[in-house]
């Protein structure tokens, strides 16, 4: 995944965002305790770069499989927001990213084999722990 402009540069495009339903760390309790419940109990938020909701009560959330992916020339490489333990993230390279190569906000996702190369001003890997209730 890369910038398609003629002249590539760090920050050329936004990056890859995965928004799951696992617990996150900064938010308002708005999510139902279970999908069929009307009782508010867990924390969710709106993604900082748009209106995509993320977070909830499902720490086993499966937000898909990311394997053997190279992300280049993005503002932020890979942002995992509320991705749960059912999400698979393996063999990811974030190269020439303007800010964080990989940012994890809450969730319970396990990361395996990250390659963070030639990234810019942010931390190569940044994690914000999830909420405690």
Does pLDDT of 8 surpass 80? yes
pLDDT at 21: 85
Which of the four pLDDT bands, split at 50, 70 and 90, describes residue 32? low
Q: For tokens 């937000």, what's the residue?
A: 63
With 70 as the cut, is the pLDDT of residue 72 above it?
A: yes
Confidence of residue 126 (pLDDT cuts 50, 70, 90): confident
Nearest to 109 by CA among 90, 88, 79, 132: 88
Look at residues 3, 17, 85, 9 and name the one whose alpha carbon lies nearest to residue 48.
17
Distance between CA atoms of residues 34 and 60, nearest Å: 13
CB 32 within 8 A of CB 103: no
The pLDDT confidence band at residue 128, using thresholds 50, 70 and 90, is confident
Distance (Å) of CA 115 to CA 50, 90, 98: 27, 10, 15
Mean pLDDT of the chain: 82
Residue 111: other Cβ atoms inside 10 A:
18
pLDDT tens by residue, 96-123? 999 999 999 888 999 999 999 998 877 8
Q: What is the pLDDT of residue 31?
A: 59
């Amino acid at each position: 995944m890369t910038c398609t402009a003629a002249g590539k540069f760090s920050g050329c495009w936004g990056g890859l965002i995965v928004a799951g339903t696992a617990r996150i760390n900064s938010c308002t309790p708005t999510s139902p305790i279970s999908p069929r419940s009307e009782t508010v109990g867990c924390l969710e938020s709106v993604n900082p770069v748009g209106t995509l909701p993320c977070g909830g009560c499902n720490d086993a959330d499966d937000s898909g499989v990311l394997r053997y992916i190279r992300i280049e020339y993005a503002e932020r490489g890979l942002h995992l927001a509320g991705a749960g333990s059912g999400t698979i993230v393996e063999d990811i390279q974030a190269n020439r990213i303007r800010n964080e190569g990989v940012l994890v906000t809450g969730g319970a996702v396990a990361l395996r084999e990250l390659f963070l190369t030639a990234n810019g001003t942010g931390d190569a890997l940044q994690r914000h722990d999830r909420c405690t209730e």
